[in-house]
Structure 1
Amino acid sequence: MNVHVEPGGARGGAAGVIKLAILAVGGQGGGVVTSWIVALAEANGYYVQSTSVPGVAQRTGATIYYVEMVPEGEATPILSLMPAAGDVDIVLAAELMEAGRAIQRGFVSAQTTLIASSHRAYAVAEKAAPGTGILDGAPILEAAEAASLRFLSADLERVAVANGSVISASLFGALAGSGALPFAKEAFEATIRASGKGVGPSLAAFAAGFEAVTASAPTPAMGEAGATTPAEAPEVTGPAALRSEWAALCARADELPSAARTMARRGLEKVVDYQDLLYGAEYLDRVEIFAALDRASGRTDGALTEAAAKAIANAMAYDDVIRVADLKVRASRDRRVRREVGVGVGALLNVTEYMHPRAEEICAVMPAGIGTYVLGHRWAYGIVERLFSNGRRVRTDRLRGFLPLYGLAALRPMRRRLLRHRAEVAHMEAWLATAQRVAASDHDLAVEILRCRRLVKGYSDTHARGLSKFDRVLSALPLLEGRADAAAWLSRLRAAALVDEAGEALDGALKTVATLDAPT
């Protein structure tokens, strides 16, 4: 939680008018908060006017709700329909970047109490970026502290979900806890009770939001040290023989260079969960090759081993139809969906999956010989394409939809004999062989070669585009090897590949590399 300046806040500007702006993304309950504020003010002798300007993006986009209230008198007041820059007493932001938007629009000034949830609901542009498109929240926190009279912030989404409600209730509680409105806490609670919908969970989330902004000990802001606590390793259960094999694999991971052990343990957990313990042993075999190269180089930072531990795990745990089906039928996924939509274990939940695998993906889960034959014969490929050309909506809450996915997930023991696995292993071994060869002469360049694996992700068209970029970036190696700045250039190429989906930035970067002088 972030708290700026002393408790207490604005009690109204000119003529006693209190002005509030609520900024929320569609679906976050901004309209609910607004209706509660209106009901609260009217019940306490205020004349209130509320307006809203919805966005036009998915789920109505980012919406501004505006409320003005004034104590009732003999004359009917004339109130504004929209907030004005520098003239808002209270701003509620249902997400961190919405607080930034309020600051950018000028709604937050030296007279404003700014209340914001510190969590992030990522924008489409952030999620669609090929690389890391997530915006840094630290500048927003700094700007909020500097621009406002008071800045109150906590993860109001988390506390709402923990109490079985939604962020509108915890945001309303934070407003009450701020003391910025001249109404008692009991009046806020009475407003929720009067609404008659989800009263119990809403009151619980309201109380949690109230406490979140009035707690005496502030919690670290997002991005600060100590803001998150690493999750404890899950308890391993199962037959004694398998647990013994797992312990032996963990012991091997702990013998790697110290800087790479944490990453290697995470990678080991990932590939074992993806396939089996033997797959985990194969993973460590590959990582240990780079650990030996690290030791031979005399370097103590373990950078090569750590890069290998991360990249090899991602390469071995590639997304395929079997993996997608496996994740969709897991009990843990059902629990997560129920938690996210607020449905209890005993309640009925309808889940519809949209699936549209390409013909290539269907061939990929065939035995290698059959899949190769189908891909090489137009008539056979045409049959597969006609059968699977249309997307399907599958109800996994019913046996008719659940059992086919369960059957696909059950193909996991056969994965090593399938066409996709053979292609993935061949590509991976060629990439790792290149990194091993280069490590003998240019340790830093070998690290960058391993890190290029982040370009390959997802499945279907996403995987194909990523693989194409990966191959194009590494195609520059003959021009870079032997240069003192080879690692830096390969890093630049990888960054360019992550800039845009079409690869235009990468095209330009590759043209620049082609003009470099040959290494001497």
Structure 2
Amino acid sequence: MTLHETLSDQLGKGTLDPRLSGIIKLAILAVGGQGGGVLTGWIEDVARSQGYAAQATSVAGVSQRTGATVYYVEMAPHRPGDPVPVFSLMPAPGDVDIMIAAEMMEAGRAIIRGFVTPDRTTLIASTHRALAVSEKMVPGDGIAPAEEVRAAAEIAARRFIAADFDALAVRNGSVISASLFGALAGSGVLPFPREAFEAAIRASGKGVEGSLRAFAAAFEVAANPAAEAVAAPPSRTATAVSGPARLMAQWNALAARVSALPEPAAEMAMPGLRKVVEFQDLAYGAEYLDRLATVQARDSAEKGWVLTREAAKYIANAMAYDDVIRVADLKTRARRFDRIRGEMRVKDGNLLHLTEFFHPRAEEIVGMFPARLGAKVEASPKWMARLTRWFDKGRRLRTDSLRAFLMLHVLGGLKGWRRRTLRHAQEQAHLARWLETALAEVPRNYDLAVELIRCRRLIKGYSDTHARGLSKFDRVIAATLMIAGRDDAADWCRRLREAALKDEEGKALDGAIQTIRSFA
């Protein structure tokens, strides 16, 4: 069967848009590392192998996450001896037949730019998210809602094919370019047989087997829209605990205390107990449950144990703070190295060089001192300036080297020393003040007490991040107490917390506090 007979046959069956019998216009939006160039090359190769003339161009974005690279391919049937068509160099709004987006927000950008139209465009998009810098910078949840993009795509596109093609590729030992190529083939929008697409992958000669597996999986997803693109994640079950009999007996006693809590609180308290025990030891877990019992004693079933449930979460977070010891411990754990190897797809014959970046402040150094000595040093501007001069500089440690790894490993093993440090004393004192402030409001305004407990969400991270969060927390608490006697105090506390999470600089929080001062 000739090329034109194939086209006529597909047009007759209705599997090919009549517009695609002429010049086919295909655009790809992808960011660095997603293989957009490889995908474009495969599409060019398969088109030429099937008797088409093809041209591919690309225009890079401003940077990796502020602008995707636009890859553009035009192709048209071409008989030997006929004039070669003159192709365009860039896609034009309203003039794209096939749009491939390597990430969900890139699909949204394609729609906004007019590349996706309901009368002609087939949109193929991966539903996973590669967060933009603007999303990561927000102190709270800055992730843009992908559901809005999906809803817009259903309306904007002639046909919409969506699945988590990134996860599908990873499961098959490849990268997203292979799975998107499979989705393109499975969609049937191009008049080429599956074998031609697979031949293009084989001709590349790199990562062929993994690419073919990812291609085949994505092909089935696109060809059978009802099929699940990615299997549902396994349900989270409690991790079994094992250890010496003496320690297990202590753990079981703590677990029994959790089981005795009201069900809403127990559901949150068990992960909290695991977190603080892993952070320090079993005795620390007992302290956690003692604090939670203090909260429960002020709570009631009539209120649904909301206060105790929230306290179970945020007391655990407060007790498992990020100090130098914890950071060093996390960076030298075997499962972290395994995760990095998996993400980087390190094979047995590869060498992995891992560099850790450190920028300790004088406060982190003093925080490791004995509490009494540390307090004296922290109160001395001369000593703090000296420590800043010695330590406040960027450091790079190659933890694939024995010396750097052992240094962090030893530092991470100082859990027994932690209770004697200035940082631990400061954290315990701050935790006690926070709980006392919240519980004092229970008789007068239960909802306000709950919101004050939730304000602990503002404190997170390490070094400068922790300092900024702590400052915002203190300001929110102080502003809330200015209006604690009002009936709407709980609502204002929530607004202040949300304002604090809007931006790193705290400009929204400044505005909210000014509003409160205007009527307090």
Q: Which among 132, 139, 160 is matched to residue 130 of structure 1?
A: 139
Q: Which among 380, 387, 390 is matched to residue 377 of structure 1?
A: 380
TM-score normalised to structure 1 length: 0.93
Q: How big is the shift at 1:182? A: 1.2
Which moves more between the two structures, 59-68 or 34-43? Answer: 59-68
Counterpart of 1:23 in structure 2: which amino acid? L
Deviation string for 1:290-326 (max 9, x for gaps)?
Answer: 222222xx52422111211111111111111111111
Q: Does residue 23 in structure 1 map to residue 29 in structure 2?
A: yes
1:230 and 1:277 map into 2 onto residues whose CA distance is 27
Q: Which among 264, 278, 286 is matched to residue 273 of structure 1?
A: 278
Q: How big is the shift at 1:344? A: 3.0
Q: Which among 426, 432, 437 is matched to residue 435 of structure 2?
A: 432
Aligned to 2:163: 154
For the Cα contact (< 8 Å) 1:10–1:89, is it kept in 2? no
1:277 and 1:162 map into 2 onto residues whose CA distance is 38
Q: Does residue 99 in structure 1 map to residue 99 in structure 2?
A: no
For the Cα contact (< 8 Å) 2:16–2:191, is it kept in 1? no
Corresponding residue SS for 1:439: coil
1:412 and 1:345 map into 2 onto residues whose CA distance is 34
Counterpart of 1:24 in structure 2: which amino acid? A
Q: How big is the shift at 1:227? A: 6.1
Q: How big is the shift at 1:71? A: 0.9
Counterpart of 1:80 in structure 2: which amino acid? S
Q: Does residue 120 in structure 1 map to residue 129 in structure 2?
A: yes
Deviation string for 1:103-136 (max 9, x for gaps)?
Answer: 1111111221111111100000000001110111
For the Cα contact (< 8 Å) 1:11–1:182, is it kept in 2? no
2:229 and 2:258 map into 1 onto residues whose CA distance is 33
Q: Does residue 63 in structure 1 map to residue 69 in structure 2?
A: yes
For the Cα contact (< 8 Å) 1:22–1:93, is it kept in 2? yes
Deviation string for 1:11-35 (max 9, x for gaps)?
Answer: 4627611111111112111111111
Aligned CA-pair RMSD = 2.0
In structure 1, list runs of 5 or more residues that go unmatched: 1-6
1:336 and 1:278 map into 2 onto residues whose CA distance is 30
**In the superposition, relative to structure 1, how do residues 299 and 8 fare at CA in structure 2: closer, same or farther (>3 Å)?**
farther
Q: Work out the number of aligned pairs and report it.
A: 505
Deviation string for 1:153-201 (max 9, x for gaps)?
Answer: 1111111111221111111111111111111111111111100111122
2:266 and 2:28 map into 1 onto residues whose CA distance is 46
Q: Does residue 37 in structure 1 map to residue 43 in structure 2?
A: yes
For the Cα contact (< 8 Å) 1:11–1:18, is it kept in 2? no
Q: Does residue 242 in structure 1 map to residue 247 in structure 2?
A: yes
For the Cα contact (< 8 Å) 2:163–2:229, is it kept in 1? no
2:20 and 2:147 map into 1 onto residues whose CA distance is 34
2:349 and 2:134 map into 1 onto residues whose CA distance is 37
Aligned to 2:200: 191
**In the superposition, relative to structure 1, how do residues 61 and 237 fare at CA in structure 2: closer, same or farther (>3 Å)?**
farther
2:14 and 2:471 map into 1 onto residues whose CA distance is 58
Aligned to 1:108: 116
Matches within 5 A, 1:465-484: 465-484=468-487
Aligned to 2:267: 262
For the Cα contact (< 8 Å) 1:38–1:49, is it kept in 2? yes
Matches within 5 A, 1:183-222: 183-215=192-224, 217-219=226-228
2:126 and 2:417 map into 1 onto residues whose CA distance is 47
Aligned to 2:325: 322
Counterpart of 1:144 in structure 2: which amino acid? A
Q: Which among 365, 368, 386 is matched to residue 365 of structure 1?
A: 368
Q: How big is the shift at 1:101? A: 0.9
In structure 2, list runs of 5 or more residues that go unmatched: 1-12
Deviation string for 1:194-221 (max 9, x for gaps)?
Answer: 0011112211221222233334644499
Counterpart of 1:159 in structure 2: which amino acid? L
Corresponding residue SS for 2:419: helix
1:108 and 1:8 map into 2 onto residues whose CA distance is 21
